[in-house]
Structure 1
Amino acid sequence: MKRGPLLLTNALLSVLALLGAATAHAADLPAYPFVSTSGKAQAWLPPDIGELRFETGAQHTDAGVAGATLAELSAAIAQVLAEHGIPDADIDSSDLAMKTVELSKPAADGAIRAHAVARHYAVRVRDLARWPGLVAAMLARDHVDSISASFDRTNSAQLDRDLMAQAAQDARANGALLAQSFGRQLGPATAIARGPLERVSAPFVATQPGHSRSAQAAPAAGSYAVPPSIPFAQSVTAIFRLQ
């Protein structure tokens, strides 16, 4: 019987703690009605610039011979690029660190290890009419591998700004329509983010699907062919006050 008051006190403290936690959570809620919405804008446009990336390399049991062979391969590649109208300013190259590799079988001199060296290239092609011939020339060369390609537009920064403005307008229009459906008017925005508002947790924001270039299915094209169009997209999520 003597333990009754202690148990009652503990129970009372637990209830007070729960009430305090609920009050703290309620304090995080906005003091105004709100609506969260998203907007998006996208466009498919033909590219006007491409980048071709590849590597060339050599290996030999003599490090000096491996380096000299790489220099010869690089000179030949520079000639091919020049023949296809690629200026030096549009060629970025970097040497990868020389490494020692184990040979699958001993070399003629009995060596079981060789020195391998490689050079990585990133070549910007501003005249896409030259693209097919350049790609064919690279594919035909020995000691050229890890070929990959990407495409863009030279005005992509302005395109992204325009699409962002359109996405913002779409978000406001969606918010206004949603507010009107419940007999309210859309007020000013109180939180804005590109894409979903990932840092604002529920129940403040209903997560909206994001839109990005990687999420779009590209038109069918060959492995290295210039695609007829590439996607550009922007999305916006916002929280608006309701009036």
Structure 2
Amino acid sequence: MDHLCLIALLLCVAILTLGKIFNFVTGDREKSTANIPPGSHGFPVIGETLQFMLSVNSGKGFYEFVRSRRIRYGSCFRTRLFGEIHVFLSTTESARAVLNNDSGMFTKRYIKSIAELVGDRRRLCASQHHHKILRSCLINLFSKRSTPLMVRHFDELVVDALTGWEHRGTVVLLTDLLQIRFKAMCKMLISLEDCTRIDFFCKKMWALFVKPCSLFLSVYLGLDFTRASW
């Protein structure tokens, strides 16, 4: 068995080495376009996936992966992750061009599995025309005047929740976090601050959505993430 593992490992190393040699030999033929934008494809097929996963599991997160390559290649660089070419942009102008999509060359959407999970009415799953309508309706919620007020209200909700933790033996994190988020949304979207009505709607949301989801995760996947001792 040990010999078979060693042979398999040697074969993998040989394949990766041959792939590197092949890329090096054929690289000059594609030199005119291969470096636009600059970057590295890493190993054949897997690219820089291993480096990306290592950075995700490190204390600094995947931002360190992006930061190191931004220093090396500039504000626009490419890499290969999970078998696909990815281009990273880190300037205000490029972000505005992608998000506004005035040229019609970019499509902002979830991957298929996530889109099916969140539903076709999700903003990033909407068509371009529908997305613009939703954006025009929501843009006033994030104006220079409303954003500071919303941040202050959210800060008050967090402080109020943390103050209550001191007198509780067990803190249900998921419940508290959802309540904070729900209260903030009620204030921002419909200017609702009545605690009685908010609690009523929050209980309805918990019964209809959160409980079935948490039950599924705990029974079928063995994930019990809702409770933590304080």
**TM-score normalised to the size of structure 2?**
0.24
Q: Which has the higher strand share?
A: 1
Higher RCO, Cα 8 Å, sep 6+: 1
Q: Pick the structure with more helix per residue.
A: 2
Q: Pick the structure with greater CA Rg.
A: 1
